[in-house]
Amino acid sequence: MKSVEPIRDKKKIDAMKAILASGKYGQRNLVLFSIGINTAYRISDLRQLKLSDVLEISRGRVIVKERLAMKEQKTAKHNSVFISNKLRKVILDYVQSEFPEQLQAQDFSKYLFPSRKLADTPLTRQSLWRIIHEAGTAVGLKEIGPHSMRKTFGYFLYKQGTKTEIIQSLLNHSSQRETLRYIGITQEDKDTAVKSLDL
């Protein structure tokens, strides 16, 4: 598997969202990317999401849950991540458009990102890689793939001043050093930090 990098530029993220939102499966692709960059989950976990993982009934209405909680396949650890109001709206718009019968019947057993070729199966890892890689390449990114979404999540938390220990916990890493290497903190980032000190 090729090594990928986080997306370090918010303008590139917005450009990727625009590309992903276009086309026949645009809404699905946008939701996939939006969940990917706003949670700490690997693509192997995201592709397995079902409507029941993101939806619930509250006061007789279908709503998007406030948290995305699951047991990660790779680590077998439980993780729970808050879903922002903006992301909840994107998810709700998507499921209302793509799953009207399931919402009406309150049947949340379907995959959130179903394969269009095989009934009752999620998108393949290869399809997800192609979707993210093509959008990233279109905006000029070179080392891009689905894992870039998880790395982007950690990278922007770090840039916003979130403590490394918290990012480490969200990513289920064993050390802060592993986390910093994983999210792509570069020598340039370190130099910038030192230059800004100027005591």
- Catalytic residue numbers, as ranges: 42, 74, 147, 150, 173, 182
Amino acid identity for residue 181 in this structure: R
Whole-number Å distance between alpha carbons of 34 and 27: 10
Locate tokens 């916003």: which residue?
Answer: 160
- Residue pair 19/138 in contact (Cβ under 8 Å)? The answer is yes
Q: In the chain, what's the furthest Cα-to-Cα distance?
A: 64
How many degrees, rounded to 5, is the angle at CA 178 between CA 36 and CA 187? 95
- Strand ranges for the chain from DSSP E: 55-58, 61-64, 67-71, 78-82
